[in-house]
Amino acid sequence: MTALLLAALLAILPGVGSAVAPAAAATAAVPRMARPAPDSTQTHYAQKNAEALRNLLQEADTRARRLLCRYRLYPLTQDESYLEGLPEDPPQNATARELALLAGLWGYRAAEASVFGAMQAGRRSMDLLEAARAKDPEAPFVLLIGGQSLLYRPGLAGGSDAEALRRFRRLRKALDGRPDAAVAPTEAALWTWYALRETDRLDAARALHQKLAARDLPPLYREFLEHPPGR
């Protein structure tokens, strides 16, 4: 995909409001719970703003943040340096999100490798995904990357379009009220549409396509909808 030179707006940190409760002699201010801001990586990714993601990677101070930035940067840039130095075994105390992101990065390695290298990288990716599912099968990135893996794996290797669709539907539910999950609801809807199409649920796919097409989608999502990836 060709990256567009569009600047993405950074997510604005939510402020803390207040609710006023009447009392007999005075009114007392009751703080309102702040909603989490959308993760900025998903905003920059959807806008195809690789430069902003590179800046986030340079500023990242946790392993989880670095993995997330690398996972979003590689498909935008095809820069193989983001696939270098990946651990072959699950890091100690890794979260389900970290394990799923590592599985995704190893999956990218498999797609770029020779036949023998692809087998090794693919096996590591699948092992990491299983470890992620064991920790938290409903974690957004576990569902997203797991569903993608099921779509692109051959049937003999455990691939299943129908199971991928189930994962993406669970992902959409898992994202309710979680703008900080770093997976946009629109991204989950796009993959659900893609899986509906691949499983020949054409009426449902058409209906979801119409809803998505009517939105003001950011560049990456619009491109996915108009030119979906091949298999």
Round to whole Å and give the CA distance between 50 and 78: 11
Beta strands in the chain (DSSP E): 18-22, 27-31
Round to whole Å and give the CA distance between 5 and 113: 29
Round to whole Å and give the CA distance between 17 and 34: 7
Round to whole Å and give the CA distance between 229 and 191: 11
Contact between residue 186 and residue 199 where contact means Cβ atoms under 8 Å apart? no
**pLDDT at position 154, please?**
83
| pLDDT tens per residue across span 201-210 | 999 999 999 9
Render the burial of 72-107: b for 16+ CB within 10 Å, e for the rest: bbbbbbeeeebbeebeeebeeebbbbbbbbbbbbbb
Task: Find residue 21's DSSP bridge partners.
Answer: 28
- Compute the average pLDDT of residues 185-212: 98
Give CA 9 to chain center in angstroms: 19
Round to whole Å and give the CA distance between 75 and 1: 8
| pLDDT tens per residue across span 22-77 | 333 333 343 444 445 568 999 999 999 999 999 999 999 999 999 999 999 999 99
Nearest to 35, CA basis, from 186, 202, 181, 205: 181
- pLDDT tier, 179 (very low <50, low <70, confident <90, very high otherwise): confident
- Count the alpha carbons within 13 Å of 154 in the hemisphere toward its beta carbon: 4
Assign 6 to helix, strand or coil: coil
Nearest to 102, CA basis, from 91, 92, 93: 91
Nearest to 18, CA basis, from 10, 9, 27: 27
- Count the alpha carbons within 13 Å of 18 in the hemisphere toward its beta carbon: 7
Contact between residue 37 and residue 182 where contact means Cβ atoms under 8 Å apart? no
Average pLDDT value over all residues in the chain:
84
Residues of the chain with pLDDT > 70, as a percent, come to 83
Greater confidence (49 vs 115) lies with: 49
Contact between residue 57 and residue 66 where contact means Cβ atoms under 8 Å apart? yes
- Compute the average pLDDT of residues 141-167: 94
Q: Taking 60 as the threshold, does the pLDDT of residue 104 lie above it? A: yes
Round to whole Å and give the CA distance between 122 and 104: 10
| pLDDT tens per residue across span 19-37 | 333 333 333 343 444 445 5
